[in-house]
Structure 1
Amino acid sequence: MKQLILGVLLLFTLEAVMAQEKTTNLLPFETFEKKLLAAGPDPQILDARSGEEFIQNHVKGALNVSDEKQFKSIASKLRKEAPVFIYSIGNGRSAKLAAVLRALHFKEVYEFPGGLSKWIAQGKPVESTVGDGLSLAGFNEQITSEKLVLVDVGSRYCGGCKKLKPIVEKLAEENKDKLKLVNIEAYDNKQLTKALAVDALPTLILYKGKEAVWKKHGLSSEEEILTELNKHKI
């Protein structure tokens, strides 16, 4: 038993590289949704994010598993013969938790493809303690500018978003006479996230005259962003 617990703890501390490798077997979203519906009215859904994130937004019926203590309590009550569905922001923390359950011989373990970001972008419901945030009309006001407008949609909980933030802020400062930066906190602005079809974080959208001329999901380098800015006559 002691060895099993140590094994679980080891899996929980695996590097994100391993977690990302697990995501190569993700189901297409439509296939995943069919399996979730087929699981019946009370599916086993686990949220691998922090407790703070869970309180703000989560899928109805999900149980929060943010640490080893919670895991031991919840795992003992899960049915191994029934499917388990897991999500996080993207597929980082969910991949680690999925690896743990597979090691414990759960037969069917599925990750939400694209995580909660994709779920919200697809217009799926969440239970939330925060409002819908900025309206589309309010957003359109923010991107109305004679300058190029770079919209950075991210989350304060997202590792890739934290890496991207200083890059876009540096470019905005260096080109402030020609570039406006708009930051959008995705989970505080669910309706806008859906309207912009942001199904992964971070997402950059470049506007010129209120028209989206470039969109990129995932981490971007300074050189890549600068290339797009130059392409559109910054």
Structure 2
Amino acid sequence: MRILVIFFLLSSIMSCENKSGATLLTSQEMKELITLDSVQLIDVRSLEAFREGHLEGAQNLVYDDEFVQKIKNLDKNKPVAVYCRTGRRSEECSKILEKAGFKKIYQLKGGLTQWEFEDELVRDTISQ
């Protein structure tokens, strides 16, 4: 059953690519994707923002002048899911990842701001 869910998830999002070539994911799609062991989850916000809160399992690779060096420790054969606060920095990072030879790049649409907004909507719906 899990394989069917993953297949459906991946096939439904393949048409949702942004300018970087990364596949844009809604927060719900990202939640499902990051449950997979093979996904490398990357938070590109500042260390301070990362320490204030981040997605479980994420590693902090700050988007700065050294970003290209930082991604050299990632496995290009495994999918990479990248996020920031609003999606702008993660889109830039996705372009860099693509240039570096990563094939499967996923980006959280709207960043953590959208993730938190959608979580709040779900909580409000459940409590009504």
Q: TM-score range by the shorter chain?
A: 0.5 to 0.7
Measure how far apart 1:26 and its partner are.
1.9
Gaps of 5+ in 1: 1-19, 124-193, 198-234
Q: CA 1:33–1:119 in structure 2 vs 1: closer, same or farther (change >3 Å)?
A: same
Q: Give identity over the alignment, percent.
A: 27
Q: Which has the higher strand share?
A: 1
CA distance in 2, matches of 1:45, 1:24: 14
Asked whether the equivalents of residues 22 and 94 of structure 2 are also in contact (C-alpha less than 8 Å), the reply is: no
CA distance in 2, matches of 1:107, 1:43: 12
Could you say which residue in structure 1 is the equivalent of 2:69? 72
Q: CA 1:58–1:31 in structure 2 vs 1: closer, same or farther (change >3 Å)?
A: closer
Q: 1:26 aligns with which of 24, 27, 32?
A: 24
Q: Deviations over 1:9-34 (max 9, x none)?
A: xxxxxxxxxxx854995234444433
Gaps of 5+ in 2: 1-17, 124-128
Higher relative contact order (CA 8 A, sep 6+): 2
Asked whether the equivalents of residues 22 and 104 of structure 2 are also in contact (C-alpha less than 8 Å), the reply is: no
- Give the number of aligned pairs: 105
Larger radius of gyration: 1
Q: Deviations over 1:143-169 (max 9, x none)?
A: xxxxxxxxxxxxxxxxxxxxxxxxxxx
Could you say which residue in structure 2 is the equivalent of 1:55? 51
Tell me which stretches of 4 or more aligned residues in structure 1 moved more than 4 Å. Answer: 20-25
Of 57-66 and 97-106, more deviation after overlay is shown by 57-66
Q: TM-score by structure 2 length? A: 0.66
Q: Calculate the aligned-residue CA RMSD, in Å.
A: 2.8
Q: TM-score by structure 1 length? A: 0.39
After superposition, where does 1:14-163 map in structure 2 within 5 Å? 21-22=19-20, 26-37=24-35, 39-40=36-37, 43-66=39-62, 67-69=64-66, 71-73=68-70, 75-123=71-119
